[in-house]
Amino acid sequence: MAFPLSKDAVKQFWNPGMSGSVSMLLPAQPSVLVGLAFDASALTFDETAFEAAYPTVPPNSIDLGVFNLQLLVRGLFRPGMRFSPWLEGGLGGAFITGATYREVIGGVRQTYYDIKRTTRLSVSGSAGADIFFTAAFAFTIRGKLLYLVNDPSIGIVVLADAGLRFRL
């Protein structure tokens, strides 16, 4: 799940949405992994909130997408153990799909929302844990704080996910 936190421009008309992540990490040392990660998040438009703010305007439902590609460094606290917690830091770029709703009424332009389509530098921090079933297969949980540098519309997004980890 993806939860926008910091900017009212997004929190006003968009709900938390689904998120997915894929990463490939290679060992640099026994307790340090480095690699790439790709996150994709969809924030769903809240028609009820829009109708409450603008009761006479028909809603224009546009979901937002946030796509993030980062270089990662992960530090393992208990490598090789059945329960292995970790911390991770990332640096990369994020792309926001954008959403704009404007109308011209009586020669006057009215803007209801304007989230720019843009690419921003992204910085992240994560905490998680792997629970190994075998040496090559684990269940993983993660919480990630993603900051889009100088983004006027979104700012900070929290990602929470669970999934599977495969080790080759």
Range of the domain at 144: 2-160
Partnered with residue 136 across adjacent β-strands are none
Which of 10-14, 76-80, 142-146 has the highest mean predicted lDDT (pLDDT)? 142-146
Closest CA to 158 of 129, 128, 130, 124: 124
Partnered with residue 77 across adjacent β-strands are none
Contacts of 86 (CB under 8 A, 6+ apart): 74, 75, 76, 77, 127, 128, 129, 130
User: Looking at the domain assignment, is residue 165 inside a domain?
Assistant: no
User: Looking at the domain assignment, is residue 167 inside a domain?
Assistant: no
pLDDT surpasses 90 at 99: yes
Collapsed DSSP state (helix, strand, coil) of residue 107: coil
Domain count, the chain: 1
User: Looking at the domain assignment, is residue 63 inside a domain?
Assistant: yes
Give the integer Cα–Cα distance in Å for 100 and 54.
Answer: 15
User: Looking at the domain assignment, is residue 44 inside a domain?
Assistant: yes
Q: Among 26-35, 72-81, 106-115, 125-134, which stretch is predicted with the lowest mean pLDDT?
A: 106-115
pLDDT surpasses 90 at 167: no
User: Looking at the domain assignment, is residue 62 inside a domain?
Assistant: yes
User: Looking at the domain assignment, is residue 125 inside a domain?
Assistant: yes
Is there a contact between 112 and 102 (Cβ–Cβ < 8 Å)?
Answer: yes
User: Looking at the domain assignment, is residue 142 inside a domain?
Assistant: yes
In angstroms, how far is CA 129 from the centroid of its own chain? Answer: 19
The pLDDT of residue 104: 85
Is there a contact between 68 and 93 (Cβ–Cβ < 8 Å)?
Answer: yes
pLDDT in tens, 10-40: 999 999 999 999 999 999 999 999 999 999 9
Report CA dihedral (130, 131, 133, 138) to the nearest 10 degrees: -30
Q: What percent of the chain has pLDDT over 90?
A: 82
Q: What is the mean pLDDT of residues 44-73?
A: 94
**CATH code of the domain covering residue 137:** 2.40.160.20
| pLDDT tier for residue 86 given thresholds of 50, 70 and 90 | very high
Q: What is the mean pLDDT of residues 56-73?
A: 94
Give the integer Cα–Cα distance in Å for 55 and 52.
Answer: 6
User: Looking at the domain assignment, is residue 168 inside a domain?
Assistant: no
| pLDDT tier for residue 105 given thresholds of 50, 70 and 90 | confident
The pLDDT of residue 69: 98
Q: What is the mean pLDDT of residues 3-8?
A: 90
Give the integer Cα–Cα distance in Å for 86 and 102.
Answer: 45
Per-residue tokens: 123:
């910085």
| pLDDT tier for residue 106 given thresholds of 50, 70 and 90 | confident
